Amino acid sequence: MSGTNAAAAGGPAGPDRPPARGVGLLRMLPVTGKIGLVVVAGIVVVALVSLVWTPYDPLQAVPEDRLSGSTLQHPLGTDRYGRDVLSILMAGAQITLLVGCVAVAIAAVVGTPLGILAGMRRGWAEELITRGADMMLAFPALLLAIMAGAVMGASTWSAMIAIGLAAGPGFARVARAGTLRVMSSDFILAARGASQPETRIARRHVLPNIFDLVVIQASVTFALAILAEAALSFLGLGTPPPEPSWGRMLQGGQDYLAVAPHLTVWPGLAIALAVLGFNLLGDGLRDVLDPKTRGRR
Amino acid sequence: MIRAVGGRVLRFVLTLFATSVLVFAFMRILPGDPAEVVLGTGATEEALERTRAEFGLDRPLAEQYWDWVSGIPVGDFGVSFITGEDISPVVLDRLAVSLILVVSAMALALLVAVPLGTWAAVRHRRADGIAISAATQFGIAVPNFLAGMLLVAVFALGLGWLPANSWMPPAYDPVQFVLHLILPVVALAAVQAAVMTRYVRTAMLDVMGEDWMRTARAKGLSTFQALRRHGLRNAALPVLTVSGIQLTTLVIGAVVIEQVFVIPGIGSELLTAVAGRDLLTVQSVVMLLALITLTVNFTVDLLYLVLDPRTAVQR
C-alpha cells in the first residue's frame, strides 16, 4: 500500500506532465520566478556573511562621522550615531529572515494539519475550522501583535508568534482546498479500503500531495511576514534596539528625512527588494506547481 | 433567501461573540497584572488589592467579561485604569479621524485599480499590460509607511507643495483639511491600489475566458464594449469580496500611517495606550476595530446575496 508513488500523483495534471523536482523545477520557473529566487538567495547569502563579517561593527557609534552620505569609507553613509548603514543593513537581514522563518513555521505547523483535518473529516470539524479561519482573516492580524506588545512589552518573539498565528488560517485554507482535491483520488479509496488509519492516510497520502501548495503559501507568507515585522518595528513594537532591524532603521530615518534621506531610502529598498523576491518566487512556484493554474497563460 | 440571510446573521453574531471572548482572554491570559501596571512594580500587596477592588479586577472573569462586553453595544467601554477617564468619548472622536482616512484611501484605490486592472487584463499579452502587472508587483512590495515617508520627502520637504504632517479639523479650515489629507491618503491608497489592481486584473481575465464573453464578441461588440456591458458586473463579485478583506489591511495601514503623519486617529490612540500600558483602552480599541472590519465583511456577505442570487441556494 505504501508503494503509492506520492510524487507522481501531484494532482489531476495527468501522466503527460510529471511534476517538476530539483533541477527540473528550476528550469521550469518563469523568468520572474528565477529573479525572485536570485533575490532571495542573495539575501540569505548577505545574512550568512554578516554572521562572520560586516565592513564595520554594526553597533559601533562614531559620533564624528554621524549622518554622512555615501563616501568611500561608508558606501551607504552613516546613521545618527555614526554607525555604518551598510553594516546595519547586512546584519538586519538576519532578523528579517529569522522572523520570516519562525512566523512561516508557526503558521504552517498550526494551519496545515487543521486544513487537512477539515478536508478529510468534513462535517462539524470542517465547519468549525473554516469558520474560524474566515473569522481570523477578517480580524486585522497586526492587532494581535500590538496587543501582545501592550501586555508583554515589545520583543522579536512576540512579533514572530503573533505574525505566525495570524498567518495560520491562510495555510489552513490552502491545505483544505488541496485535501478536498486529493480525497477524490483512487489511491485514497484504496488506502481506506485497506483500512489504513486516518492519521496514516493524512501523513502518507494527503500531505505529500498537497506539499507543493504549502510551499507556495510559505513563500507568499514569508513576504507578508517581512512587511508585518517592518511595520511593527517601525511602530517600536517589534525588534527592540540595539538589534539591527530594517523596520526600525526606517523609524530612525523619519526624523532625518530632510537632512539624510539615505537613512530612509536604503532600508526601504532592502525591505521592498526582500518582499518582491519572495512574492516573485511564490508566483513562479505557483505557475509551475499548482495544478489549478497549470496550463493557464 | 430568508434562510440564507438568517444563517449569515447567526454566523455574524457568533463571530462577534467569539472575537470578543478572544480579545478579552488574550489580554488576561498574557502575563502581567493590570493593578501592578497602574501602581508600578514597587507597590505593596495592600495597595494592589485596593486597586484591583477599585477596578473590579477581583471579581470572577466571567463577570468582568460581561461587564465589559455588555457596554459595547451602547458605546460604553468603561473607565481607563490609567487615566481614570471614560474611554468612549476619546476613542470615538479619534475613530472619526481614522475613518475619513480609510474611506478616502479605499475610494481612491478603487478609482485607480478598476480601470487600471481592466486595462491590464485586456492587454495582458501586450507591453502596456505587462508593464502594469510589473508595476503592481513593485507596489505591493512597498510598505505604506515607506511610501508615506518618500511622499513627504519629495512633495513636502523637497518641493514644498504640501504640508509634511499633522491634521486640520474640517470645521476649522476646509482647505487646509484637504491639503493635510492628500499625502497620507495617497500613501495609503497607492499600495492598496497596487493590490486591488492585481485582483481586478485576475477577475477580468477569468471573466474574459467565459463563453458568454465570446458570444458577446461574436455579436460584434469590441472587447471593451463587451466588458462594459457584461464583464464588469461579473468581475465585480470577487473584487467586492476582496475589498472587504482588504479593509482590514487598510485599518492596520492607517494605524501605521497615522504615526508617519502625526494624525490624531484611532491608531495613535492605540499606540499611546500600548506605550502607557493602558490595558482596557487597548482591549476596547482592538475590539472596536475588529467590530468594524467584521461588520464590513458581514455587509459584503449580505450584498453578495443580492448581487449573486446563486449564492443563496448553495450550502
Q: What is the mean pLDDT of chain B?
A: 83
Are the Cβ atoms of B153 and A261 closer than 8 angstroms?
A: yes
Round to the nearest angstrom and report the end-to-end CA distance of chain A.
37
CA distance A87 to chain B (A): 21
What confidence tens digit (pLDDT) does each residue in B59-75 have? Answer: 788 888 888 888 888 77
Residues 86-125 of A with CB under 8 A from B: none
Beta carbons of A169 and A136 less than 8 angstroms apart: yes
Smallest CA-to-CA distance from A89 within A247, A229, A254 is with A247
Q: How many helices and strands, by DSSP H and E, does chain A display?
A: 11, 0
CA distance B153 to chain A (A): 6
Nearest to B294 among A138, A227, A257 (CB): A138
What confidence tens digit (pLDDT) does each residue in A217-252 have? Answer: 998 899 999 998 898 888 888 888 788 888 888 888
Task: Specify the pLDDT at position B108.
Answer: 94
Are the Cβ atoms of B141 and A135 closer than 8 angstroms?
A: no
In which band, very low, low, confident or very high, does the pLDDT at A142 lie, cut at 50, 70 and 90? Answer: confident
- Looking at per-residue confidence, does A157 or A12 come out higher? A157
> How do the domains of chain A map onto residue ranges?
56-63+76-296
Residues 125-184 of B with CB under 8 A from A: 137-138, 140-143, 145-146, 149-150, 152-153, 157
For an interface test with B, give the residue of A235, A246, A271 to mutate (most B CBs within 10 A): A235
Read off the pLDDT of each residue in A108-117 and give the average, rounded to a whole number. Answer: 93
Task: Specify the pLDDT at position A183.
Answer: 86
Contacts of A275 in chain B (CB under 8 A): 140-142
Q: What is the mean pLDDT of chain A?
A: 82
Are the Cβ atoms of A138 and B293 closer than 8 angstroms?
A: yes
CA distance B214 to chain A (A): 17
Contacts of B150 in chain A (CB under 8 A): 264-265, 268
Q: Is the minimum CB–CB distance between A135 and chain B shorter than 8 Å?
A: yes
Task: Specify the pLDDT at position B31.
Answer: 61
In which band, very low, low, confident or very high, does the pLDDT at B19 lie, cut at 50, 70 and 90? Answer: confident
Are the Cβ atoms of B26 and A230 closer than 8 angstroms?
A: no
CA distance A34 to B58: 59
Q: Is B262 a residue whose pLDDT tops 80? A: yes
Q: Is B42 a residue whose pLDDT tops 90? A: no
| Nearest Cα residue in chain B from A140 | B248
Nearest to A138 among B157, B274, B297 (CB): B297
- Looking at per-residue confidence, does A203 or B176 come out higher? A203
| Grid cell at residue A267 | 532600508
Are the Cβ atoms of B290 and A279 closer than 8 angstroms?
A: no
Q: Is A291 a residue whose pLDDT tops 80? A: no
What confidence tens digit (pLDDT) does each residue in B91-111 have? Answer: 888 888 899 999 999 999 999
Contacts of B245 in chain A (CB under 8 A): 137-138
Q: Which CATH superfamily is domain A56-63+76-296 in?
A: MetI-like (1.10.3720.10)
Contacts of B26 in chain A (CB under 8 A): 144, 147, 151
CA distance A232 to A288: 33
- Looking at per-residue confidence, does A22 or B112 come out higher? B112
For an interface test with A, give the residue of B10, B149, B270, B300 to mutate (most A CBs within 10 A): B149
| Nearest Cα residue in chain B from A261 | B153
Contacts of B293 in chain A (CB under 8 A): 138-140
Nearest to B143 among A137, A230, A273 (CB): A230
Q: Is B207 a residue whose pLDDT tops 80? A: yes
Q: Is the minimum CB–CB distance between B15 and chain A shorter than 8 Å?
A: yes
CA distance A138 to chain B (A): 6
Smallest CA-to-CA distance from A11 within A291, A296, A293, A297 is with A291
Q: Is the minimum CB–CB distance between B270 and chain A shorter than 8 Å?
A: yes
Task: Specify the pLDDT at position B307.
Answer: 79
User: Domains, chain B, ranges and CATH?
Assistant: 2-74 (no CATH), 95-314 (1.10.3720.10)
